[in-house]
Structure 1
Amino acid sequence: MMRIAHISDTHVTTDAAFKSYAYDLIINEINLKKFDFVIHTGDVTNQGLREEYEHASYALKRIQKPLVVLPGNHDARNVGYELFEKYIGPLNGVYEKDDLVVIWLDSTIPDLSDGRVGGYKFRWLKEKLEEYSHKKVKIVAAHHHLVPLPDTGRERNVLFNAGDVLDLLLKHDVTLYICGHKHVPNVYKIENLIVVNAGCTSCRKTRKGDVNSYNIIKIHEDGKVEVTIKRVTGDRAERLFEIPKQRIFIPKGKRILRIVQLSESKVSDRVYFRERILENAIKAINEKYKPDLVIHCGDVVDVGIGRYYEQAMEFYEKIRGDKIVIPGHSDITYLGYDLFKSYFGEPEIKEMGDFVFIPILTAQYETPIGVVGRIGQKILREYLDEYRDKFVTVLMHHNIIPIPRSRELGFLEDGGNVLKILTSHEADLVLTGHGGNAVAIKVENTPIVNSGSISWELHRNPFGNSFNLIDIYPTMVVAFEIQATWGSRKLLGIWKIKTEVPWKD
């Protein structure tokens, strides 16, 4: 068994921001226990100043284990990234031990809190993952987080290309992604990737009255991964993950429900609106796919004015059967807030036998940034509790997982808390529609499916304009992306349902 100590955000400085007693307590504990090596995921110093690096260099030498240290955004301040290499070590690198490899990255941007794995560095990471593909355990370490975190206030300071990085890690069967940055310990399983955030080891700034902590990662010989959040108070939070082997799932039983999910039609008279593609897609939806329910996840029109809504209504009245339409940020610009309700109505909860669909409004006036809000979060929790005996699908416009080929700005400003609510309450399915690209990822037990643009030319999808087809069987959910022009399909994901859905005639 391999034992790893994961520390982060020590923020070594000469003032009270650095809690030296917490650092001493945690380092002494690490030295006394049987750890194979230690990883520090950045913010070694508080301001990247020379005297802080001198102090930090001395403090890190007290760790009596092999040590990997990578820079954080605070270390890169004041051109501190050059001092990092002088006093600490290389900004990027590889550490090997037996059948394990750690690839660490400098994700910082000088003088910004945000992060990025830039073009050349992204290519380097890909090359290293290919070079060490034979390793049984692959760990990628960087400072910045990949997915929104709970209890961090306003969601910002993510990796700008988090969607691309996450996609790369999943494609190369990376075991662990470990990071720090937001001073909140958290563990998620994203498909078969375990994402481990560290709290802060010795900084005064903790969140929500928490205390300093570090993570203990144990990698067992049978492939299981155990993560423990160890606080200086002695409190522990433990999780054990079993990484399953890749298997092919075959749907069993009769299909229970079929959903067509679309987004970003952006109906208008602008050249970017592809009217013919939307017409063809609607014809295919009606004649070929014949869904039980059509869900539009926002940005129905390009701008919230009357003639665009009239035009959009002409299109969507052609779709047969049940529909749910929720507003996106472009829908409520100008007069759109009132026009949306006049044409499409206020989105309401819809029950269909054993299934319930819960729309959550995230769009705000005149900004692509969305929010659920504290009251909205409370309502979401209440709905998930009320309908826990049904198959619950939550509908939103804004994405809560990063989208490949998109600059991630934390488009849902309270996305960390919303994601935690959805996963902790085990929502059965989440459908979103922001970002112009189709992607589907399971976080914990909750599949999250984002729709690409059905008829807007300014999208980010190499597959072209598309919509999603989601089939629900008694034991699994299957999601396909359908190319809106030619009808070709691509598998987005297959996930087992946590509780078998009964079939009702």
Structure 2
Amino acid sequence: MIRIAHISDTHITSESAYKGYAYDLIVNEINRGNFDFVIHTGDVTNQGLREEYERASYELKKIQKPLIVIPGNHDVRNVGYELFEKFIGPLNGVFEFRDGVIVWVDSTIPDLSDGRIGGYKFKWLKKRLEEYSDRKFKIVASHHHIVPLPDTGRERNVLFNAGDVLDLLLRHGVNLYTCGHKHVPNVYRVEDMVVANAGCTSCRKTRKGDVNSYNIITLHDDGRIEVTIRRVTGEELKKEYPPVRPKIFVPRGKRLLRIVQMSESNVSDRIYFRRKVLENVIRTINERLKPDIVIHCGDVVDMGIERYYEKAYEFYEKIGAEKLVVPGHNDITYLGYDLFKEYFGKPKILELGKFTFIPVISAQYETPIGVVGRIGQKKLARHLEDYSESFTVVVMHHNIVPIPKSREVGFLEDAGDVLKVLTREKANLVLTGHGGNSFGVKVEKTPLVNAGSVSWELHRNPYGNTFNLIDVYRDIAVVFEVQATWGSGRLLGIWKIKGPFNL
């Protein structure tokens, strides 16, 4: 068994931002505890100044355990990255322990709060993960978060290539990702990886009236990962995740539902719109796939003008199956807000037997940035509670988790709070369609599936224009990405589910 103390965001300074008594209290607890080592995930100092580094060097020496320290965005202000190496240690590195390894990587950008694990560091991280692929526990530590966090206000200061980093960690079987940055403690399981975000250890800037805290991480010999958020008040919140064993999924019984999910058709008269591709997709849907429902996750048209809506309506009227369409940000530009309702109607909750489809409007007028809003979040939570006896499918435009090959700038500004609602209320499936690339990932017990562009040339998908085919069985959901021109498919995700199916 390995026990780790995870601290973050100490913000050591002579100014009022630093709470020395909270730091000493937590450090004394760590020193008395049975910890194998300590991880500090950044923002050691407040402004990256020399006097702060001098004091931080003194304060860190109080920790009487092996210590790994990662730089945060505050540490690299004022060319503080050079002082970090002088007073604290390397910006990137590897720490080996029994049965495991920690790879830490600098995610900072000088004088910006946003983060990036750029080309050279990304390749270095990939090489280290390949080098230590045989380790039982593979831990990556950085400052910035890779999935949105609740109770942090607007989603900002993100890792620009969070989608690529998340994809890399999942592909290489990383067990644990530790980070800080947002001053909020939080723990999620993303697929087979535990993501532990530490709150602030000794900074005065806590959120929602919270107090200072740190994480206690226990790696059990049987592969279990246990994370305890411990606050200075003594309050503890514990989450435990058993190891995920390799398994073969075999559907039991007949298929219960088939969904075709698409996005970003961007119907227009511009050269980027691939009319023949969309025609081929509609023909494939009607003649070969024959789904129970077709869901379009937004950006039906390229611009909200009547000429484009007339063309889009002609296309989608040819689909014989039930349809549910939610607007994307392109759809409500210009007159699109009214035109969408005129041609496609106001999205409403749709029930198909034991399945309930809940549309959520995230698009805003004349901006690619989306928001559900506090009232929208409450409505979503109420709908999920009201339909808890059915299999709930939430449909919206903006992606909630980062998408590979897309620059992440927090396109859904309240993504952290929306994700909290979805996971807390145990939504059975979430379908989104923003970013021009397909991606599927399970957070806690909720799979989130993003559709790529079905007929728009300006996409980010190496597989080309695609749509998703989702088959739901009694105990699993299977998602295939289908190439829009050739009809070939590849597995995007397969997840065990628990539905209200008494069959």
Q: Which residue of 1 aligns with 2:352?
A: 352
5 Å matches for 1:369-448? 369-448=369-448
Q: Which residue of 2 aligns with 1:80?
A: 80
Q: Structure 1: how far apart are the matches of 2:39 and 2:113?
A: 21
Q: Kindly provide the amino acid, as one letter, of the partner of residue 322 in structure 2.
A: D
Q: Secondary structure at the match of 2:27?
A: helix
Alpha-carbon shift at residue 209 of structure 1 (Å): 0.4
Q: Does 1:268 align with 2:254?
A: no
Q: Deviations over 1:21-74 (max 9, x none)?
A: 000000000000110000000000000000000000000011000000010000
Q: Structure 2: how far apart are the matches of 1:40 and 1:382?
A: 39
5 Å matches for 1:152-301? 152-301=152-301
Q: Is the 8 A contact 1:399 1:434 kept in 2?
A: yes
Q: Which residue of 1 aligns with 2:461?
A: 461
Q: Deviations over 1:343-387 (max 9, x none)?
A: 000000001111100000000011100000010011011101100
TM-score, reference length from structure 1: 0.99
Q: Structure 2: how far apart are the matches of 1:434 and 1:222?
A: 39
Alpha-carbon shift at residue 252 of structure 1 (Å): 1.0
Alpha-carbon shift at residue 501 of structure 1 (Å): 2.0
Q: Is the 8 A contact 2:391 2:500 kept in 1?
A: no
Q: Secondary structure at the match of 1:72?
A: coil
Q: Is the 8 A contact 1:475 1:500 kept in 2?
A: no
Q: Does 1:491 align with 2:498?
A: no
Q: Is the 8 A contact 2:399 2:432 kept in 1?
A: yes
Q: Which residue of 2 aligns with 1:328?
A: 328
Q: Does 1:150 align with 2:182?
A: no
Q: Secondary structure at the match of 2:399?
A: coil
Q: Structure 1: how far apart are the matches of 2:98 and 2:354?
A: 50
Q: Structure 2: how far apart are the matches of 1:416 and 1:330?
A: 23
Unpaired segments of 5 or more residues in structure 1? none
Q: Kindly provide the amino acid, as one letter, of the partner of residue 240 in structure 2.
A: L
Q: Structure 1: how far apart are the matches of 2:118 and 2:246?
A: 30
Q: Structure 1: how far apart are the matches of 2:388 and 2:500?
A: 13
Q: Deviations over 1:120-147 (max 9, x none)?
A: 1000000000000111100000000001
Q: Secondary structure at the match of 2:62?
A: coil
Q: Is the 8 A contact 2:390 2:499 kept in 1?
A: no
Q: Kindly provide the amino acid, as one letter, of the partner of residue 305 in structure 1.
A: I
Q: Which residue of 1 aligns with 2:60?
A: 60
Q: Deviations over 1:83-106 (max 9, x none)?
A: 000000000000001111000010
Q: Which runs of 4+ in 1 moved over 4 A?
A: none
Q: Is the 8 A contact 1:22 1:202 kept in 2?
A: yes
Q: Structure 1: how far apart are the matches of 2:95 and 2:128?
A: 11
Alpha-carbon shift at residue 497 of structure 1 (Å): 1.2
Q: Kindly provide the amino acid, as one letter, of the partner of residue 138 in structure 1.
A: K
Q: Is the 8 A contact 1:268 1:301 kept in 2?
A: yes
Q: Secondary structure at the match of 2:239?
A: strand
Alpha-carbon shift at residue 500 of structure 1 (Å): 5.2
Q: Kindly provide the amino acid, as one letter, of the partner of residue 112 in structure 1.
A: L
Q: Secondary structure at the match of 1:315?
A: helix
Alpha-carbon shift at residue 245 of structure 1 (Å): 1.2
Distance 1:324 1:499, change over 3 A: closer
Q: Structure 2: how far apart are the matches of 1:480 and 1:345?
A: 29
Q: Which residue of 2 aligns with 1:308?
A: 308
Q: Is the 8 A contact 1:188 1:194 kept in 2?
A: yes
Q: Structure 1: how far apart are the matches of 2:246 and 2:492?
A: 16
Q: Which residue of 1 aligns with 2:125?
A: 125
Q: Kindly provide the amino acid, as one letter, of the partner of residue 339 in structure 1.
A: L
Q: Structure 1: how far apart are the matches of 2:50 and 2:73?
A: 15
Q: Structure 2: how far apart are the matches of 1:258 and 1:350?
A: 15
Unpaired segments of 5 or more residues in structure 2? none
Q: Structure 1: how far apart are the matches of 2:435 and 2:250?
A: 30
5 Å matches for 1:106-125? 106-125=106-125
Q: Kindly provide the amino acid, as one letter, of the partner of residue 121 in structure 2.
A: K
Q: Structure 1: how far apart are the matches of 2:220 and 2:9?
A: 27
Q: Kindly provide the amino acid, as one letter, of the partner of residue 33 in structure 1.
A: G
Q: Which residue of 2 aligns with 1:100?
A: 100
Q: Is the 8 A contact 1:201 1:214 kept in 2?
A: yes
Q: Structure 1: how far apart are the matches of 2:316 and 2:64?
A: 66
Alpha-carbon shift at residue 496 of structure 1 (Å): 1.1
Identity %, equivalent residues: 71
Q: Is the 8 A contact 1:445 1:498 kept in 2?
A: no
Q: Is the 8 A contact 2:355 2:392 kept in 1?
A: yes
Q: Secondary structure at the match of 1:120?
A: helix
TM-score, reference length from structure 2: 0.99
Q: Secondary structure at the match of 2:250?
A: coil
Q: How many residues align?
A: 503
Q: Structure 2: how far apart are the matches of 1:321 and 1:436?
A: 24
